[in-house]
C-alpha cells in the first residue's frame, strides 16, 4: 500500500522463466529454501466403504500439502508403476536380477510396483514412497499411511513410519487426516507443516463499499468473516502467539485501531491516542507492546504503547509521513518502517529508541510493506524499482548485505507480503491478469504461485500460526 500522498494516509486507506532462474540461483533464496530436492511418489489411497466418497479429497489434500511445501520434487504420476502397494504386506524384497542373455545388458527386476526398486528406478526415480488406504470404521474416516525410503531394497529396513489417521466421516474429517499424514511426511525432513496456520486478510465481498477482516486456512479453505461493521476495516496484524488481532477501522468514524481476541471471538479495549488517524499496528515479539502510526502531532509518526494502548510514546520525529513499523522477531530492539523523509517512500531501520536510522532501500522508485522473515535476517517487501509508478513487485532483501532478489515479474500490482511460520512461503496480494486483487501464496524463490481467494477483491494478507 502506498503512503507517499497524504490522501492515501487519510484513506489508510525479462521473461518470467529467466527471472525465476535468477531467483533460484541467489544466495538469499538458497538460504531460505535449502538445496537440491529429493523426489517423492504419492500414489492415490484407495477408499473402501463409506470412506470412498472422501478419498479423492484426501489424496488431493496430501499431494497439495507436500507439493506446496516446496521441500520435495513430485514424481510424475504418469510414470508410476501400475500396481502400487496399499499395505505393508503388499511390498516384497527386490529379487536378484535375472542372468542376461548373451550380448544383452542385465535388466533390473520389475515387481510391477510391489518392490521399492520399482519406484527408485527410472522412469519414476523417486527417493521416497508414500502409500496406504482409507476405510470407514465406526462412523469415522480412517486412513492407514505408510512412508518408505526407496533407496533401501529391504522393506523392513526401508520403512520410515506407519501411522493411523482418523477424522469425522466427512470432507472436514478427510481433510484433517490428510493434513496430518502430510505433516508427518514433512516432519521427516525437519520442516513444519502449515496445517493449522491461518491467514487474515481484507475483503470487500460482504457488501459493496465495505471492507471487512476475514480469515482462512493456509490453503484457502474455510474462508469466513471476522468483522461485520459494514464499514472500512484494513491492515490486520496478528500477535506472535496468534491470540490477538489488531487492525485499523473506520467503524467509529475516524480511522482507529481495534483489537480482537482470536480465542474468545470478542473485541478487546484498545486506547487510541486523540488523533485524526491511528493505524498500521503491529506487535513486538513478546506480544506485550503494539507499534503503530498516529497523526497526533500532524504528520503520521511511529509510536509504541502497551498492548492495551496505554503509555504510548513517540519514536519518530520528522516532518514526513512514517508508517508500517515492524519489529525484528529475533532482535526486539530493531524495527523497520516506511518513511517519506527523503522524498518517495522508502524502507528504513531504526532502534526502539528512535535513533540509528538507516535507509535500507536505495531510493529508486517507492518501497513499502516490509515483513521480517522469522529468522530476523531477511525481509520481503513491495517495490516499484524498474517499473512505472504504481506498479509494484515483491522483493527479498538480506538486511546485512543489502542484496535484493525480485520474486514477481510484470504480473500486475503485487504487494503486502507476509511470511508463513515455516519461513519458506510468502502470502501476498496481486491483481495479476487484470483481475481484481486476490490473495496468493508462493515459495520464497517466487515459484509455486497459488491463488487462495477468488470472490470479491482481497488485500493485505497476514500469515499467523
**CB 307, CB 289: distance < 8 Å:** yes
Task: Give the range among 95-104, 208-217, 443-452 with minimum mean pLDDT.
Answer: 95-104
In this predicted structure, the answer to whether residue 3 has a pLDDT above a threshold of 50 is no
**CB 380, CB 368: distance < 8 Å:** no
In this predicted structure, the answer to whether residue 15 has a pLDDT above a threshold of 50 is no
Residues of the chain within CATH 2.120.10.30 domain(s) are 6-33+196-464
DSSP notation for 264-319: TS-EE--PPPSSS-EEEEEE-TTSSEEEEEE-TTSS-EEEEEETTS-S-EE----S
- pLDDT band for position 19 (cuts 50, 70, 90): very low
> Residue 405: phi, psi to the nearest 5?
-135, 130
Task: Give the range among 3-7, 23-27, 103-107, 215-219 with minimum mean pLDDT.
Answer: 3-7
Fold observed for domain 6-33+196-464:
Neuraminidase (2.120.10)
Please give the Cα distance from 193 to 180 (Å, whole number): 9
**CB 451, CB 431: distance < 8 Å:** no
pLDDT at position 207: 87
Q: What is the mean pLDDT of the chain?
A: 90
pLDDT at position 37: 87
In this predicted structure, the answer to whether residue 69 has a pLDDT above a threshold of 80 is yes
Task: Give the range among 26-35, 122-131, 225-234, 432-441 with minimum mean pLDDT.
Answer: 26-35
How far is residue 461 from each of residues 22, 218, 331, 415, 446, measured CA to CA in Å? 26, 11, 24, 10, 17
Tell the residue number behind the cell numbers 483481475, with chain if given.
Answer: 435
In this predicted structure, the answer to whether residue 435 has a pLDDT above a threshold of 80 is no
pLDDT at position 9: 34
pLDDT at position 72: 93
What average pLDDT does range 66-94 have in this prediction? Answer: 94
For the whole prediction, is pTM greater than 0.85? yes
In this predicted structure, the answer to whether residue 406 has a pLDDT above a threshold of 90 is yes
In this predicted structure, the answer to whether residue 34 has a pLDDT above a threshold of 70 is no
What average pLDDT does range 363-374 have in this prediction? Answer: 96
Please give the Cα distance from 293 to 184 (Å, whole number): 42
In this predicted structure, the answer to whether residue 324 has a pLDDT above a threshold of 50 is yes
Please give the Cα distance from 11 to 300 (Å, whole number): 13
**CB 137, CB 165: distance < 8 Å:** no
Beta bridge partners of 225: 214
pLDDT at position 32: 64
CA of residue 77 relative to chain centroid, distance:
26
Q: Which residues contact 203 (CB under 8 A, 6 or more apart)?
A: 211, 212, 214, 225, 453, 455, 456, 457, 458, 459
What average pLDDT does range 330-356 have in this prediction? Answer: 96
In this predicted structure, the answer to whether residue 311 has a pLDDT above a threshold of 80 is yes
Q: How many CB atoms lie within 10 A of CB 282?
A: 25
Which CATH number among 3.40.50.10070, 3.40.190.10, 3.10.150.10, 3.40.50.2300 corresponds to the domain 38-187? 3.40.50.10070
pLDDT at position 109: 77
Residues of the chain within CATH 3.40.50.10070 domain(s) are 38-187
Radius of gyration of the chain (CA): 25
Task: Give the range among 5-14, 223-232, 240-249, 362-371 with minimum mean pLDDT.
Answer: 5-14
Cell numbers for 385: 524499482
Strands in 358-359's sheet, in edge-to-edge order, are 322-328, 331-339, 346-351, 358-359
Percent of the chain scored above 90 by pLDDT? 82
pLDDT at position 27: 64
In this predicted structure, the answer to whether residue 390 has a pLDDT above a threshold of 80 is no
Q: How many CA atoms lie within 13 Å of 350's alpha carbon, on the beta-carbon side?
A: 20
Amino acid at each position: 500500500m502506498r503512503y507517499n500522498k497524504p490522501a492515501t494516509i487519510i484513506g489508510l486507506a525479462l521473461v518470467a522463466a529467466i527471472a525465476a532462474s535468477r531467483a533460484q540461483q541467489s544466495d538469499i533464496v538458497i538460504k531460505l529454501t535449502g538445496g537440491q530436492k529429493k523426489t517423492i511418489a504419492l500414489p492415490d489411497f484407495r477408499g473402501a466403504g463409506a470412506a470412498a466418497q472422501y478419498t479423492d479429497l484426501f489424496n488431493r489434500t496430501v499431494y497439495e500439502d507436500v507439493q506446496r511445501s516446496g521441500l520435495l520434487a513430485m514424481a510424475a504420476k504418469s510414470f508410476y508403476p501400475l500396481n502400487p502397494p496399499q499395505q505393508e504386506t503388499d511390498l516384497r524384497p527386490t529379487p536378484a536380477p535375472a542372468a542376461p542373455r548373451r550380448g544383452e545388458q542385465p535388466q533390473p527386476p520389475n515387481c510391477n510396483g510391489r518392490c521399492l526398486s520399482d519406484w527408485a528406478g527410472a522412469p519414476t526415480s523417486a527417493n521416497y514412497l508414500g502409500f496406504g488406504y482409507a476405510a470407514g470404521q465406526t462412523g469415522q474416516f480412517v486412513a492407514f499411511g505408510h512412508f518408505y525410503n526407496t533407496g533401501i531394497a529391504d522393506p523392513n529396513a526401508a520403512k520410515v513410519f506407519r501411522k493411523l489417521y482418523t477424522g469425522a466421516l466427512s470432507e472436514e474429517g478427510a481433510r484433517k487426516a490428510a493434513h496430518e499424514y502430510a505433516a508427518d511426511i514433512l516432519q521427516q525432513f525437519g520442516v513444519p507443516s502449515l496445517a493449522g496456520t491461518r491467514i487474515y486478510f481484507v475483503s470487500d465481498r460482504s457488501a459493496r463499499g465495505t471492507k471487512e477482516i476475514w480469515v482462512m486456512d493456509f490453503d484457502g479453505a474455510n474462508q469466513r468473516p471476522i468483522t461485520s461493521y459494514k464499514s472500512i476495516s484494513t491492515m490486520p496484524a496478528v500477535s506472535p502467539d496468534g491470540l490477538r488481532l489488531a487492525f485499523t477501522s473506520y467503524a467509529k468514524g475516524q480511522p482507529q485501531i481495534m483489537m480482537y481476541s482470536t480465542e474468545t471471538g470478542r473485541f478487546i479495549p484498545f486506547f487510541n491516542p486523540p488523533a485524526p488517524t491511528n493505524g498500521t499496528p503491529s506487535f513486538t515479539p513478546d506480544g506485550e507492546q503494539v507499534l503503530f502510526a498516529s497523526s497526533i502531532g500532524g504528520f503520521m509518526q511511529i509510536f509504541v504503547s502497551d498492548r492495551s494502548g496505554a503509555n504510548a510514546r513517540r519514536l519518530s520525529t520528522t516532518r514526513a509521513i512514517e508508517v508500517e513499523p515492524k519489529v525484528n522477531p529475533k532482535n526486539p530492539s530493531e524495527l523497520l518502517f516506511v518513511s517519506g523523509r527523503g522524498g518517495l517512500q522508502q524502507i528504513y531501520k531504526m532502534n526502539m529508541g528512535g535513533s540509528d536510522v538507516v535507509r535500507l532501500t536505495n531510493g529508486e522508485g517507492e518501497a513499502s510493506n516490509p515483513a521480517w522473515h522469522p529468522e530476523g535476517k531477511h525481509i520481503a517487501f513491495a517495490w516499484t524499482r524498474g517499473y512505472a509508478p504504481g506498479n509494484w513487485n515483491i522483493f527479498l532483501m538480506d538486511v546485512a548485505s543489502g542484496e535484493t532478489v525480485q520474486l514477481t515479474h510484470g504480473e500486475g500490482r503485487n504487494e503486502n507480503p507476509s511470511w508463513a511460520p515455516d519461513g519458506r512461503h510468502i502470502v501476498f496480494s496481486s491483481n495479476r491478469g487484470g483481475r481484481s486483487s486476490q490473495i496468493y501464496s508462493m515459495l520464497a524463490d517466487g515459484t509455486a504461485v497459488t491463488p487462495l481467494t477468488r470472490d470479491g477483491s482481497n488485500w493485505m494478507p497476514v500469515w499467523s500460526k
